[in-house]
Chains A and B, each alone.
Chain A
Amino acid sequence: MTGGASRLVAAAVVVVAGFAASQVARAESSMSYLTTFGPAGDPATRLGWGLGLISIAVTVIVTALLLAGLLRRRQRADPKALAVASDTGGMAWIYVGTGITTVILLACAVWTIRTISAIAMPVGTDLSLEVSAAQWWWRVRYDNADPSQVFDTANEIHIPVGRPVRVELESLDVIHSFWIPKLGGKMDVIPGRTNVTWLEADAPGVYRGQCGEYCGAQHAHMALSVVADPPATYAAWVADQLAQAPRPASSDVAAGLATFSRHCAACHAIRGTDAGGILGPDLTHLMSRSTLAAGTLPNTPANLLAWLADSQAIKPGCRMPRLALSARELQSVARYLQTLQ
């Protein structure tokens, strides 16, 4: 086996491995950016794939040409000749090569610029979110021209399928980055300024997001999810979110609310009660969310209790302190929180 053949094999391995990996990613990883599901991400994904394939093709062709050049048997020169005979034919290759390269690069540049302009700004969005990043969670406010339709939630964004959503990003402390890989590229979240990005999903589903810029100890536990709902489901979700928390239906639940008000209300808000804290996530509809602590735990009763009992063990250093609550109080607060559908 010659050296050239081994190079070809290696190149083929790279291509096949990449393709196989992408298939794996497509099937398994919620954080894979190799396939996207909406116009905010698709042009960039196509561009990425396209440029990748062009690069591979260029590499293959250039490698092949190089190999051909190396392997081509040179005409045996006359050892007695005074000078090497001039060979003017090579210049044509250079002209042709430069020309083709220029055309390809120019085409790539045009494609890139067009892609950037296609995804840069939302077109005709009537839905706007303010997302504030904090160590280590995401506050989400749904804006609306009608102020009574404005509400707060956290860590889980619902969007209607097929509608572009404008997202204004602000930081409450350090630099973060807003990143929903399957819906689009990253956008940094910088203290003191408002960056704008947008989301649009063309298929219903849950798209996981993650802080994309190291922001402290629990950076890894600063996830969010974007749930793309069919329009009717989305409208129902909005109506649910706008509702105030129900009044406690039993004395046990009322005791949980009372304990919550004393211990937790300075940081958390529950609309319809006295709790109006803005330091932590709005919990008015906590049970409508699929995770706890910004994607750290699935939102199950057991996890909720565990989180209340010792948040610092689960997410050390997070702003949620260890609560001085008895087991009974913990149970009762958890029971109250579970009524927040």
Chain B
Amino acid sequence: MTAQPRSAVAAALALLGMLVLLGACQRPQGGVTSNVAPAAASTDGDKVAAVPLGDVAGVAGSTYTETIRNPFTGDPQAIAQGRQMFVSMNCAGCHGYDAKGGMGPNLTDRYWRYNGVPVSVYKSIYEGRPQGMPAWNPSLPPQVIWKLVAYIESLGGTAPAGAYEASLRGDRPGDNVAPEAQSTSTQPASAGKDSATDATDATAAASPPQARPDAGGKP
């Protein structure tokens, strides 16, 4: 009958162990490991901080590196966080909860007053723009701004990095006609879309588009 005392001792130890664990709860434990993403973002943020931001907006042949890529492009988690910031930093109040414009311009179409490559969108957020867009530079750290850009990119209107000239015209690389005249052919992503997309395009074709939206498009 040696097993019984051993199990009893084990039970007592288990109880004591639990109490020790409970006691541990009161002391903050150091060295908690974080998600990988923020750590990666912060290193990228340092790189991003080096982006020259003094260029004159809208000047062709700009000297800043228009090919700079957004470290978060296509990252679903970053896009979700970007959307969250879009609402909580009052962006939606101006640009609309659907980002289709309001007090501020539509961010889902291909018309970019200050160019639609990611780094230009970044600059617009970072520095602000003359018609009322505030500068978010000191309030939002670079990685948050990049996440906002990632969200805006996910809306489909921006130009890819490097497509500076085309983006000024509202075109995509390879486009040879104005975007308004096109229906589904230009966007590679739309190739596999279902008939709902076609229906939308058909409606768009039926009611001719108006002049490009400008500031103060709607209340």
Direct touching of A and B (C-beta under 8 Å):
yes
State which residues 1-34 of B face A: CB under 8 Å: 1, 4-5, 8-9, 11-12, 15-16, 19, 22-23, 25-26, 28-29, 32-34
Q: Is the CB of A317 within 8 A of B28?
A: no
> Is B185 among interface residues, defined by CB-CB distance under 8 A?
no
CB distance from B131 to the nearest CB of A (A): 21
A145 at interface, CB cutoff 8 A? no
Contacts of A263 in B (CB 8 A): 138-139
Q: Which residues 208-251 of A have a CB within 8 angstroms of B? A: 208, 210, 217-218, 220-221, 223
| A192→B41 CA distance, assembly (Å) | 30
The interface bits of chain B over 83-113 (1 if a CB of A lies within 8 angstroms of the residue's CB, else 0) are 0000011000000000000000000000000
Q: Is A11 a contact of B138 with CB atoms below 8 Å?
A: no
Count of residues in A whose CB is under 8 Å from the partner chain: 41
Asked if A303 is at the interface (CB within 8 A of a chain B CB), the reply is no
Which residues of B have CB within 8 Å of A323?
141
> Is the C-beta of A262 less than 8 angstroms from some C-beta in chain B?
yes
Report B-chain residues with C-beta under 8 Å of the C-beta of A220. Answer: 28-29, 32
Interface check B207, CB cutoff 8 A:
no
Contact B26 A312 (CB under 8 A): no
List the B side residues contacting A14 at CB < 8 Å: 8, 11-12, 15
Q: Is A92 an interface residue (CB 8 A)?
A: no
Q: Which residues of A contact B22 (CB under 8 A)?
A: 25, 29, 31-32
Q: Which A residues touch B141, using CB under 8 A? A: 321-324
Residues of B contacting A262 with CB < 8 Å?
Answer: 138-139
Q: Is the CB of A317 within 8 A of B11?
A: no
Once the chains bind, are A13 and B8 in contact (CB under 8 Å)? yes
For residue B33, which residues in chain A have a CB less than 8 angstroms away from its CB? 217, 316
B38 CB-CB contact with A under 8 Å: yes
Which residues of chain A have C-beta atoms less than 8 A from B1's C-beta?
3, 6
Query: Contacts A10-B12, A220-B29, A322-B42: A21 and B4 contacting too (C-beta < 8 A)?
Result: no
Q: Is B68 an interface residue (CB 8 A)?
A: no
Residues of B within 8 A of A30 (CB): 26
Q: In the complex, what's the smallest C-beta–C-beta distance from A56 to chain B, in angstroms?
A: 12
For A18, list chain B residues within 8 Å (CB): 15
Interface residue? A265 (CB, 8 A): yes
Determine which of A25, A31, A221, A266 lies in contact with B139 in the assembled complex, contact meaning CB atoms within 8 Å: A266
A-B contact count (CB 8 A): 93
Chain A proximity of B119: nearest CB distance (Å): 19
Q: Are the CB atoms of B34 and A317 closer together than 8 Å?
A: yes
Q: Tell me, rounded to whole Å, the shortest Cβ–Cβ distance linking A171 to chain B.
A: 14
Flag whether A114 is at the interface (Cβ < 8 A).
no
Q: Kindly state the separation between the CA atoms of A221 and B28 in the bound complex, as whole angstroms.
A: 7
Q: Which residues of B contact A317 (CB under 8 A)?
A: 34-35, 38
**A317 CA / B35 CA spacing, docked (Å):** 7
Given the contacts A317-B34, A322-B42, A29 and B8 also touching, CB distance less than 8 Å:
no
Q: How far is the CA of A339 from the CA of B16 in the complex (A)?
A: 46
* CB <8 Å contact, B23 and A28: yes
Interface centre among B4, B32, B144 (most CB of A within 10 A): B32
State A7–B12 Cα separation when bound (angstroms).
12
| Alpha-carbon gap, A322 to B144, bound state (A) | 11
> Which residues of the partner chain A approach B42 to less than 8 Å between Cβ atoms?
312, 322
Q: Is B140 an interface residue (CB 8 A)?
A: yes
Q: Please report the C-alpha to C-alpha distance between residue A31 and residue B136 in the assembled complex, in whole angstroms.
A: 42
CA distance A324 to B42 in the complex (A): 12
Which residues on A sit within 8 Å (CB–CB) of B12?
A: 10, 13-14, 17
Are the C-beta atoms of A6 and B4 separated by less than 8 Å?
Answer: yes
Check if B50 is an interface residue, CB within 8 A of chain A. no
- A279 within 8 A of partner (CB): yes
The docked-state distance in angstroms from the alpha carbon of A223 to that of B29 is 13
The chain B residues found within 8 Å of chain A, CB to CB, are: 1, 4-5, 8-9, 11-12, 15-16, 19, 22-23, 25-26, 28-29, 32-35, 38-39, 42, 49, 88-89, 136, 138-141, 143-144
Contact sample, A vs B, 12 pairs, CB 8 Å cutoff = A3-B4, A9-B5, A10-B12, A13-B8, A29-B22, A30-B26, A266-B89, A266-B140, A295-B28, A312-B38, A322-B141, A324-B138
Q: Identify the A interface with B (CB < 8 A).
A: 3, 6-7, 9-11, 13-14, 17-18, 21, 24-25, 28-32, 208, 210, 217-218, 220-221, 223, 262-267, 279, 295-296, 312, 316-317, 321-324
Given contacts A14-B8, A210-B25, 18 further A-B pairs with CB under 8 A are A6-B4, A7-B8, A9-B8, A10-B8, A17-B12, A17-B16, A24-B19, A24-B23, A32-B22, A218-B34, A223-B28, A262-B138, A266-B139, A312-B38, A317-B34, A317-B35, A321-B144, A324-B49
Which 10 residue pairs across A and B have the least CB separation, nearest first? Answer: A10-B8, A316-B34, A317-B34, A266-B139, A3-B1, A321-B141, A262-B138, A21-B19, A6-B5, A263-B138
